[in-house]
Amino acid sequence: MEYKNNPIHAPGLIGRLADLFWRRKWLLLLLMLLPPLLWLGVIYIGSLLALLVQSFFSIDEFSGLINYELTLKTYKELLVPANLDIIIRTVSMAAAVSLAAAIVAFPIAYYAARYARGKWKALFYLGVMLPLWSSYLVKVYAWKLILAKEGILNWLIVKLHLSWLLDALLATPVIGGNSLSVSYIGTFLVFLYVWLPFMVLPMQAALERVPINYLDASADLGANPVQTFRNVILPLAMPGVIAGSIFTFSLTLGDYIIPQIIGSSRLFIGQAVYAHQGTAGNIPLAAAFSVVPIVIMCIYLWMAKRKGAFDAL
């Protein structure tokens, strides 16, 4: 008996292509990877290199024209107190946000990884992702209203007779201010809220991969829950924490909208880049500012690796 589409018979075009890919497996891989590689290689790496090159140019203070000779002059300008302040402010904020996000995210991620099943797991994903579905700007402006002096949070605090606590908090030098919406505390809270999902999800994924057996084994060997957390759970979840903090840290380092809408009027790196490449026309300094987060992230990852954060991978 003969079948018309018997695969043993002479193949058509698709069949022949399939045969070719079967014989030369690298060919299919190359075809699939070529577009993203081109994209990454030319557009992404290319523009990054262009940025790097720009940062080694300088600006002529009198004419405002760019001097295309390679120099470290622009980088020296970064170390001017006003600019250094911006860098320190941004890095401190990014570090504080990442640390707080890790602390807030951990119980959520742990619950989701260890206990949530079926319906509750779906609810967890929904709850974590839902804020990401609405516009970032809408959320930030909503927070401005929440944190404003006439906002709902202040109203609640007054009702709870806790105004003295808020006033004391706002009276703190540097991080305080007239109201939450114009203080660093406000900026911090909004950053924390906006980037939290980026910490919860990788953490949950990492915790999910820690077998319950390891926790049993740790307890069996005499470790109480705190010791088990320190010696087993945390080290094994560390790649997830690092992955999450890469998001929260770099997103905070680069953001220029939240500090503009909420917080004091002092600049963050993103705002400095925006200002220098726009109105000021100082492209080299803007480029040099942009290199700062890249360098900081490289140092951060290098330190994390040295500390053994990726040993569990």
Partner 1 sequence: MTSAVELHQVSRYFGAVRAVDSVDLAIEEGEFFALLGPSGSGKTTCLRLVAGFDSPSQGEIKIFDKPVHNVPPYRRNVNTVFQDYALFPHLSVGDNVAYALKIRKVDKATRQKKAEEALEMVQLGGLANRRPAQLSGGQRQRVALARALVGQPKVLLLDEPLGALDLKLREEMQEELKTLQRSLGITFIFVTHDQTEALSMADRLAIFNNGRIQQVGTPENIYHRPQDEFVARFVGSSNVLASSELAQLGIQAESASLRPEAVQLVTNGGYFAKVLAKSFLGSAIRLQLALFPGGDSQLQSTPTNMSSKISPIQLSALVDHSRAELNVGDTVRVHWPEGSLHIMRVSSSISTGEL
The smaller minimum CB distance to partner 1, of residues 46 and 211, is found at 211
3-state SS class at 185: helix
Q: Which residues contact 161 (CB under 8 A, 6 or more apart)?
A: none
**Residue 306 is encoded by which pair of tokens?**
């040295």
Residue 115 in contact with partner 1, rule: CB under 8 A: no
Selected range binding partner 1 among 2-10, 58-66, 224-232, 299-307, rule: CB under 8 A: 224-232
* Rounded-to-integer distance, Cα 160 and Cα 197, Å: 30
Residue 305 in contact with partner 1, rule: CB under 8 A: no
CA distances from 72 to 127, 200, 241, 293 (A): 48, 40, 36, 18
Element (H, E) at 58: strand 58-59
Residue 231 in contact with partner 1, rule: CB under 8 A: yes
Strand partners, 66: 59
The smaller minimum CB distance to partner 1, of residues 47 and 227, is found at 227
The smaller minimum CB distance to partner 1, of residues 199 and 236, is found at 236
* Position 137, amino acid: L
Contact flags string 41-80 toward partner 1, x per CB under 8 A: ----------------------------------------
Contact flags string 191-220 toward partner 1, x per CB under 8 A: --------------------x-xx-xxxxx
- Are residues 216 and 178 in contact, defined by beta-carbon separation less than 8 angstroms? no
Quote the least distance from Cβ 117 to partner 1, whole Å: 14
Applying CB under 8 A, which residues contact partner 1? Answer: 211, 213-214, 216-224, 227, 231-232, 235-236, 308, 311-312
